[in-house]
Amino acid sequence: MFALIRPLRAFCFFLLALTSAPADTIKVFILAGQSNMEGQAVTDLKGKDYNKGKGTLVEVMSRPGNAARYAHLKNTDGTWRFRDDVFVRYERENQPPLQGPLGLGFAVYGDLHHFGPEFQCGHVLGDAIDAPVLLIKCAWGGKSLYQDFRPPSAGGVTGKYYKLMLQQVRTGLSEVGKDFPTLAGKTPELAGLIWYQGWNDGVNPQTAVPEYESNLAHLIRDIRRDLDAPKLPVVIGELTGPWVQAPEEWEALRHAQAAVARRPEFIGNTLFVPTRNFVRPASESPNPGHGHHEFGNAETYFLVGDALGKGMLALLHPSGRQIVPGVTK
């Protein structure tokens, strides 16, 4: 009996410490990357063009044994849930911006038929943090760290999308009350960065892959400096794509991502989160020809978002790292 009470008490202290926040604070997280961060998961589309609806969120939720895992995504009347304590701001390229309470639709297409990692990641963060949460999503398809996100300290030409990311974050922080009137008067506090990117570097194994580790280390340092957040927690999501075990050049990129978090300067404030085991077969996914988008599989994107969110919680409260609930493969 006492052996059970002690871990339970530790977990309660973990939640209490994690969720305690000033009432006038907004916890802000940057979600950055390329098309897999933009969001390619399919919610409910069916028919020949979507592999008869295999691997959509609706199909995944209908499977035996899945009801409890996905119950929080819907209201009791069966409609999709939109939270009143978690918000998303997403400026798409050459399209109207998306902003509002967390729910479906904050993907590049701007409709309820698609979502990205922000969906479940936002639920994880919102459930654990006793303050409003704002996700500022900075994602553009087909962008490399080697060139498009290239940070200033890496040398060469600073990437257009590194600059744009900073611009969007600063705008999001300064216009919280305008974008979300219910948050007016509250103070935004930059709380973390979640990085989920790599495909366009992986297709350039001769130059981009060998530089990936150093370029990502430069990006973390530069973002912390440019946003005046020297210890900003950073989660690095492993590149998924179509493989559990990837070809050699892609494995090299995954190893580079993991190596960044092992650098002595980043230990304790940067975490690599494995995601490869969340990849589902093309034959069981709505977009079998889109391996670069994880085949649009909703379960993959849900589990990736879940893992990224729990990884961030582990950084926000290191002593709770061993008791943060795990992710089922």
Reported as a single tens digit per residue, the pLDDT across 123-134 is 999 999 999 999
pLDDT grade, residue 8 (50/70/90)? very low
Answer yes or no: are the C-beta atoms of 162 and 152 closer than 8 Å: yes
Containing 196, the helix (H) or strand (E) segment is strand 187-196
Spatial CB neighbours of 41, under 8 Å, sequence gap ≥ 6: 57, 107, 114, 115, 116, 119, 294, 296, 297, 298, 300, 301, 302
Predicted pLDDT at 318? 77
The domain containing residue 180 runs over which residues? 26-320
Average pLDDT, integer, range 146-163: 98
**51 located within any domain:** yes
Angle 173-177-183 from CA coordinates, rounded to 5° = 100
CA distance 315 to 329: 21
Predicted pLDDT at 321? 44
Answer yes or no: are the C-beta atoms of 202 and 209 closer than 8 Å: yes
Q: How many domains does the chain have?
A: 1
**120 located within any domain:** yes
Residue 215 confidence (pLDDT) above 80: yes
Predicted pLDDT at 22? 57
Predicted pLDDT at 14? 44
**199 located within any domain:** yes
Please give the mean pLDDT across all residues of the chain. Answer: 92
Q: Domain with 202 in it: what CATH number?
A: 3.40.50.1110
**252 located within any domain:** yes
Pairing of strands 114-115, 41-42: antiparallel
Containing 193, the helix (H) or strand (E) segment is strand 187-196
Answer yes or no: are the C-beta atoms of 195 and 32 closer than 8 Å: yes
